[in-house]
Amino acid sequence: LLPTLLAHAPALVLDADALNAIAGDSSLQSQLRARAARGHATVLTPHPLEAARLAGLPDARAIQQDRLHFAQQLAQQYVSVVVLKGAGTVIAAPGLAPIVNPTGNGLLATAGTGDVLAGWLGGCWARSGLAPTADPSGLARLAAACVWVHGQAADSALAAGRRQHLSPSALIEAMASL
């Protein structure tokens, strides 16, 4: 399905296995880069290891050492908005200064919380009416707002005394209550 989506979907949020498939296939990488020329917009939401794969690196060490650089590099390379997840999530878009998110904590370090972010971002994008052909700065701001809510939900849970990781369902509930 991925080649068809890359060719025809005007708006895509790509995460997890889609990113791994793209990292391992130069044809998919070319298709991803070509989307912007057709007026299609893409948001990539890699964690550091997925970002390393997209950058052709063997592990996440270099990504973690220079998150701003690699988020910007991936945004330029794939002509996409990039949300590099992790402590100090970085939102980058081609030709724009990156945004570093100040919210979030270790309660998000569990399987599924990145999926929640990707889904939240996709839903907010659909509700926003923001056209896929819009200036990437609008999409980057939308992504930054979603990342902020995602992290703020964890910060609020921590402030309320929670010490266990947030499950995806608990995270969604916390995000919806903000």
Q: Which of 102, 143, 107, 111 is nearest to 124 (CA)?
A: 143
pLDDT in single tens digits along all 178 residues of the chain = 999 999 999 999 999 999 999 999 999 999 999 999 999 999 999 999 999 999 999 999 999 999 999 999 999 999 999 999 999 999 999 999 999 999 999 999 999 999 999 999 999 999 998 888 767 999 999 999 999 999 999 999 999 999 999 999 999 999 999 9
- Whether the predicted model's global pTM rises above the 0.85 cut: yes
The token pair that represents 35 in the structure block: 């989307």
Are 85 and 52 a contacting pair, CB within 8 Å? no
